[in-house]
Amino acid sequence: DAGVTQSPTHLIKTRGQHVTLRCSPISGHKSVSWYQQVLGQGPQFIFQYYEKEERGRGNFPDRFSARQFPNYSSELNVNALLLGDSALYLCASSPGQLGALNMNTEAFFGQGTRLTVV
Amino acid sequence: GNSVTQMEGPVTLSEEAFLTINCTYTATGYPSLFWYVQYPGEGLQLLLKATKADDKGSNKGFEATYRKETTSFHLEKGSVQVSDSAVYFCALSGVGNTGKLIFGQGTTLQVKP
């Protein structure tokens, strides 16, 4: 079975541009989460989507947005890119909603998209 | 707020040495605890997990025990190999319905032959 797939693997953008990152979850998984990992640090939570609805949002500006499609794949969009947005963006899928009561589930991560803003 | 603190790295060991990477957490309620591993240039892989107090997670020779009394989840391995060289992240989840994993800053392990 295919794991979590992300595209593209690497991306270089200029300040002020817009970027779209894509994620396909493991087949049968209904939840997708996005994380930003700056070099030398642990991943920081951006969003969780479950059944196509936003179920959690981290402390990121409104320039960051996401959505989940009927096939449970997801896009992360970042507008007006800043140099500080350079990072590894990780997508994670899980069968159920992480953090929900009575749901013992775990997250499976993709390889990530390395975004460089110049 | 909720947080995870890991021992600072890098940790450098010789092959077959004993490994301990300390992890402590601050959280309300009863979180689940995880160790993830990240090999160079790759995403995160779940190494092991524990969902309640006194649970022991184990995988590939690695172990960690959920200690509520000391709010700790230290990672151990009896005999490390060169192939264990990676960055290790401690994380918690399940606090509220926000759905997020909270990660520590990561500990780099380098094992020399």
| pLDDT tens digit sequence for A73-87 | 999 999 999 999 999
Report the residue of chain A nearest B94, measured CA to CA: A99
Report the residue of chain B nearest A31, measured CA to CA: B99
Q: Which of B4, B97, B100 sits opposite A45 (nearest CB)?
A: B100
- B5 or A2, which is more confident: B5
Q: What is the nearest CA distance from B53 to chain A, expressed in angstroms?
A: 15
Coarse DSSP helix, strand, coil percentages of chain A, rounded to the nearest 5 percent: 5, 50, 50
Going A35 to A117 to A110 to A42, the CA torsion angle's sign is negative
Whether chain B has a CB inside 8 Å of the CB on A109: the answer is: yes
Least confident of A7-11, A63-67, B43-47: B43-47
Count interface pairs A-B at CB distance under 8 A: 81
Do you find a cis peptide bond into B10, omega within 30 degrees of 0?
yes
Reply yes or no on whether the pLDDT at B94 is more than 80.
no
d(CA B63, CA B96): 27
Going B23 to B4 to A114 to A111, the CA torsion angle's sign is positive
A104: pLDDT confidence band, cut at 50, 70 and 90? low
B58: pLDDT confidence band, cut at 50, 70 and 90? very high
Whether chain A has a CB inside 8 Å of the CB on B10: the answer is: no
d(CA B10, CA A38): 18
Averaged pLDDT of chain A: 91
| Tokens encoding B48 | 């092991």
Q: For position A37, what pLDDT does the model report?
A: 94
